[in-house]
Amino acid sequence: MPMASSSLGRLTVITGPSGVGKGTLVSRLLERHPEIWLSISATTRSPRSGETDGVHYVFLTRSDFEQQIEAGGFLEWAEFAGNLYGTPRRPVEDRLQAGRPVLLEIELEGARQVRQSFPSAFQLFIEPPSLAVLEQRIRGRGTDSEEAIARRLARAHTELAAVREFDASLVNDDLESALAALETHMGVAAPATAKPEATRAPGK
Ligand code: ADP
Ligand code: 5GP
């Protein structure tokens, strides 16, 4: 018997141009809300320094990735800046069935596929304050070759033009403010912090 939809976890898709700060925002969000489960994507791109197989991505050869496509193993997949990226289907479906909130951090074509297969998913777009700041962030990250930077910036124009397809968007300018906006959109309250002195009762 199918499960009642109210017991299924909520699926959220986060999209935005490379370098906008998706990874930074998502890792801060997960530190504060460990109940949210982030899907680990598969990719054919090479690991960046500091990236671990099975943690940041599952790194596959192109032929292994293509076999997974044939076997229907991806919920969605797309080519981005010369590499293939995809969301393994089974782990996502298992977590949703178990009632966990699930997060996908994927590019535009994948978000469009999820819109077809999971119309009830919440789709959020992250915008940079400007294209100049986006370029500074990609360069500041120091992980991409000039060719990769050029491809990512070219692709950013297409992605930014699609912002209106999304249920909501936020600008990642000040990180703390963007994180708070992300929490609001995801319907998770910010963790409680110590009350400021001024709000304490007198004498305490
Ligand atoms: P993405 O995952 O979207 O490709 P990253 O999370 O890798 O982007 O961020 C790209 C760079 O921008 C990183 O060096 C990160 O530290 C920096 N960054 C992210 N958010 C902000 C922000 N709000 N203000 C300044 N720098 C930021
Ligand atoms: P990066 O190479 O910078 O880690 O990721 C490049 C782009 O691929 C980013 O926009 C990221 O959101 C996207 N991406 C990561 N995993 C997936 C995935 O599983 N599917 C799709 N469609 N895009 C992904």
Ligand 1-lining residues (CB < 6 angstroms):
16, 18-24, 137, 140-141, 172, 175, 178
Q: Which residues is 13 bridged to in the sheet?
A: 104, 123
What is the chain's Cα-based Rg? 18
Q: What does the mean pLDDT of the chain come to?
A: 91
User: Above 90 in pLDDT, residue 3?
Assistant: no
Domain that includes residue 191, residue range: 11-200
- Best residue among 80, 102, 124 to mutate for probing ligand 2, ranked by most atoms within 8 Å of CB: 80
State the closest ligand 2 atom to the C-alpha of 78, by its place in the atom list counted from 1.
Answer: 22
Q: How far is the CA of 69 from the centre of ligand 1 (A)?
A: 30
State the closest ligand 2 atom to the C-alpha of 17, by its place in the atom list counted from 1.
Answer: 10
Among 8-17, 35-44, 137-146, name the one with the lowest average pLDDT. Answer: 137-146
Residue 3 placed within a domain: no
The enclosing domain of 166 has a CATH number of: 3.40.50.300
Residue 133 placed within a domain: yes
Query: How many domains does one find in the chain?
Result: 1
Residue 5 placed within a domain: no
How far is the first Cα of the chain from the last one, in angstroms, to the nearest whole number? 56
Q: Which residues is 75 bridged to in the sheet?
A: none
Please tell me the predicted confidence (pLDDT) of residue 193: 62
Q: pTM of the full predicted structure?
A: 0.90
Give 99-108 pLDDT, tens digit per residue: 999 999 999 9
Give 117-160 pLDDT, tens digit per residue: 999 999 999 999 999 999 999 999 888 889 999 999 999 999 99
Three-state secondary-structure class, residue 18 = coil
59: region left, alpha or beta (phi > 0 left; psi from -120 to 50 alpha): beta
User: Above 80 in pLDDT, residue 87?
Assistant: yes
Alpha carbon of 46 to those of 19, 49, 59: distances in Å?
A: 17, 9, 7
Residue 94 placed within a domain: yes
